[in-house]
């Protein structure tokens, strides 16, 4: 489709009115404008922790508004379940092995095309605010104010158009304030706009703001049914470092920074530095909440399963609290749109850079192609085109955002873009849609020790290959085994499914241009960068 730019398209509507048998033709001019786009993303936000998805863990009324007024996607997935590669895929509409950002370590090449650059060329005013985790000055944005790397929860540093400064306060609110300031005061109001409003929360180390320190304090969470997973038949799943029981740090993750210094953990000092960023008043509020919990914890000497369940609850409380502040910010931005007459003509998307484990398989973090981290929440509203309460079940992926936004904006979708526009799918008008998704993950050997793998997911099945220091295939029957506990790869009953899935996988690799040689090239680069002999 050719660009219509910022120019208003005049539609001529013919209106016939009959007067004494004589037809009179009246021309009425309607002026639909190019839509604005607010692309909201948070970091590590599990779909299980958005109330619109119905898991009953928490209440996110503002994020839910997007689903209520528009669409909720039940099958939204990422290309690569780790921060920077997922963001690179969203910006470019291309898989990691094509855009080059395969892991958090590799540099991102901002010189390549991204959808913000295309929108800019088509007359959009563009801004990128908050976490992006892609080094270098962002290209494609008239205004950028981003966190360096992972960013900090308290007294965060930001880089505004390349210049670093520290803001007082709590990162989620600072990000929202910067976004509202840009909407109100900084943008050119004559132009359609793209606002990428990207929160750090609820990323590790899940530090809540003062206001929510006690939220859900009286709630006890039951761990998921597979919390005490034995990983039978899944050696790659067995050999990771993202276990709540084994790997979650009592101080760094769970805030047991006792003043006496008795609780000595690997990352205690690192957490101390985060704590030290708070003001005295913030520290007083923080200590008033955590000190009694620390004292209680020390008195109990928990072990084994009791300790695991205690850690899970401590984790859930802080994780969900950081989400509450994210939800408040979404509400403020939605209100701004409403109060300024922008609601009708603005597309709002809420998503995360990937899903997250909330105790499933006993884990926190992400990376695996298993559902909880491969999936991601996606909610989208656009009153002009999307009916309230729409439910989308098609298999969509983060590479689809770029072509979708370009499609809505009437801009050209370059043929090198690998994602598909979701526009027709959301309207229920797609005559055909993909039946399989491709996934890759490369960050190993590294933190959390999740092995390199790639795979394909169809409606009903998933095939995964773990490689490098392992050579193991996994096959899941997602209908019978939605929590992926039974690897049926060697089960003779699945012989024909296995053969079909191998064909699907090869089709995907051919379609997108991936191969074992690409994996080898990326592995060599990674090992060289980490000075690992190979």
In sequence order, the 6+-apart residues with CB closer than 8 A to the CB of 372 are: 46, 48, 355, 356, 357, 358, 360, 366
Decide if residue 265 touches ligand SGN (CB under 6 A): no
160 strand-pairing partners: 145, 163
Decide if residue 236 touches ligand SGN (CB under 6 A): no
Q: Tell me 34's DSSP state.
A: P
From 64, 253, 328, 353, residue interacting with Ca ion (rule: CB under 5 A): 353
Residue 180 contact among Ca ion, ligand SGN, none, beta carbon within 5 to 8 Å by kind: none
Decide if residue 83 touches Ca ion (CB under 5 A): yes
Window contacting Ca ion (CB under 5 A); options: 184-192, 327-335, 347-355, 391-399: 347-355
Comparing CB distances to Ca ion, the nearer of 367 and 465 is 367
Decide if residue 103 touches ligand SGN (CB under 6 A): no
Two tokens, residue 161: 């158009």
Window contacting Ca ion (CB under 5 A); options: 80-88, 111-119, 386-394, 516-524: 80-88
Decide if residue 43 touches ligand SGN (CB under 6 A): yes
Decide if residue 133 touches ligand SGN (CB under 6 A): yes
From 82, 116, 237, 257, residue interacting with ligand SGN (rule: CB under 6 A): 82
In sequence order, the 6+-apart residues with CB closer than 8 A to the CB of 286 are: 210, 213, 275, 278
From 43, 113, 327, 328, residue interacting with Ca ion (rule: CB under 5 A): 43
How many residues line the site for Ca ion (CB under 5 A)? 4
From 117, 381, 448, 465, residue interacting with ligand SGN (rule: CB under 6 A): 448
Hey, how many other C-beta atoms are within 10 angstroms of the C-beta on 245? 17
From CA 283, how far away is CA 475, in angstroms rounded?
49
Decide if residue 60 touches ligand SGN (CB under 6 A): no
Decide if residue 443 touches Ca ion (CB under 5 A): no
Q: Do strands 22-30 and 11-19 pair parallel, antiparallel, or not at all (unpaired)?
A: antiparallel
From 67, 83, 178, 257, residue interacting with ligand SGN (rule: CB under 6 A): 83
Comparing CB distances to Ca ion, the nearer of 120 and 354 is 354
Two tokens, residue 505: 């996988």
Residue 150 contact among ligand SGN, Ca ion, none, beta carbon within 5 to 8 Å by kind: ligand SGN
Return the residue nearest ligand SGN (CB atom): 83
Decide if residue 269 touches ligand SGN (CB under 6 A): no
From CA 12, how far away is CA 151, in angstroms rounded?
50
From CA 95, how far away is CA 342, in angstroms rounded?
33
**H or E stretch at 180:** helix 171-181
Instruction: Compute the least distance from the CB of residue 91 to Ca ion, in Å.
Output: 15
Comparing CB distances to ligand SGN, the nearer of 207 and 402 is 207
From 30, 222, 344, 447, residue interacting with ligand SGN (rule: CB under 6 A): 447
From CA 250, how far away is CA 264, in angstroms rounded?
9
Total number of residues shown for the chain: 534
Q: At 35, phi and psi to the nearest 5?
A: -75, 150
Contact string (CB under 6 A) for ligand SGN, positions 189-228, x = contact: --------------xxx-----------------------
- Helix, strand and coil in the chain, % to nearest 5: 35, 20, 45
The answer, yes or no, to whether the previous bond of 377 is cis (omega within 30 of 0) is no
Secondary structure (DSSP) of 335-364? HHHHHTT-STTEEEEEEESS---SSGGGB-
Residue 253 contact among Ca ion, ligand SGN, none, beta carbon within 5 to 8 Å by kind: none
Decide if residue 127 touches Ca ion (CB under 5 A): no
Two tokens, residue 497: 């499914």
Rule CB under 5 A: which residues touch Ca ion?
Answer: 43-44, 83, 353
Rule CB under 6 A: which residues touch ligand SGN?
Answer: 43-44, 82-83, 104, 133, 150, 203-205, 353, 365, 447-448
């Amino acid at each position: 489709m050719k660009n219509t730019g910022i120019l208003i398209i005049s539609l001529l509507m013919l209106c016939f009115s009959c007067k004494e048998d004589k037809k009179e033709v009246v021309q009425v001019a309607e002026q639909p404008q190019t839509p604005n786009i607010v692309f909201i993303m948070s970091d590590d936000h599990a779909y299980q922790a958005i109330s619109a998805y119905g898991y009953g863990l928490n209440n996110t009324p503002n994020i839910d508004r997007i689903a209520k007024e528009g669409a909720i996607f039940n099958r939204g997935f990422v290309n690569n379940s780790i921060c920077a590669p997922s963001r690179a895929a969203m910006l470019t509409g291309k898989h990691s092995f094509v855009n080059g950002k395969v892991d958090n370590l590799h540099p991102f090449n901002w010189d390549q095309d991204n959808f913000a650059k295309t929108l800019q060329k088509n007359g959009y005013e563009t801004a990128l605010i908050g976490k992006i985790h892609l080094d270098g000055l962002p290209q494609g944005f008239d205004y950028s104010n981003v966190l360096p790397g992972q960013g900090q929860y308290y007294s965060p540093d930001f880089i505004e158009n390349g210049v670093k400064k520290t803001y007082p306060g709590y990162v989620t609110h600072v990000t929202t304030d910067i976004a509202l300031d840009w909407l109100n005061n900084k943008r050119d109001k004559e132009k359609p706009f793209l606002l990428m409003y990207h929160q750090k929360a609820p990323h590790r180390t899940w530090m809540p703001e003062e206001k929510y320190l006690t939220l859900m304090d009286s709630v006890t969470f039951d761990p998921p049914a597979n919390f005490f997973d034995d990983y039978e038949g899944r050696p790659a799943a067995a050999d990771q470092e993202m276990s709540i029981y084994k790997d979650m740090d009592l101080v760094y993750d769970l805030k047991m920074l006792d003043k006496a210094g008795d609780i000595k953990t690997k990352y205690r000092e690192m957490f101390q530095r985060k704590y030290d960023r708070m003001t005295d008043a913030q520290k007083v509020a923080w200590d008033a909440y955590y000190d009694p919990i620390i004292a209680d914890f020390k008195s109990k000497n928990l072990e084994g399963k009791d300790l695991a369940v205690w850690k899970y609850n401590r984790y859930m409380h802080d994780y969900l609290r950081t989400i509450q502040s994210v939800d408040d910010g979404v509400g403020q931005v939605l209100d701004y749109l409403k109060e300024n007459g922008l609601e009708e003509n603005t597309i709002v998307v809420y998503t995360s850079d990937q899903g997250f484990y909330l105790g499933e398989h006993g884990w926190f973090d992400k990376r695996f192609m298993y559902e909880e981290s491969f999936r991601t929440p996606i909610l989208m509203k656009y009153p002009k085109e999307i009916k309230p309460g729409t439910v989308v079940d098609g298999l969509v992926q983060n590479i689809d955002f770029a072509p979708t936004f370009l499609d809505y904006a009437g801009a050209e979708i370059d043929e090198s873009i690998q994602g598909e526009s979701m526009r027709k799918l959301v309207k229920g008008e797609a005559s055909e849609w993909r039946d399989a998704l491709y996934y890759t993950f490369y960050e190993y050997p590294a933190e959390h020790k999740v092995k390199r793998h790639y795979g394909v997911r169809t409606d009903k099945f998933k095939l995964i290959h773990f490689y490098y220091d392992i050579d193991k295939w996994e096959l899941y029957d997602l209908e019978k085994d939605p929590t992926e506990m039974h690897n049926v790869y060697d089960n003779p009953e699945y012989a024909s499914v296995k053969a079909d899935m191998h064909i699907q996988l090869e089709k995907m690799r051919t379609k997108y241009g991936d191969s074992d040689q690409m994996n080898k090239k990326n592995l060599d680069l990674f090992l060289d960068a980490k000075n690992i002999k190979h």
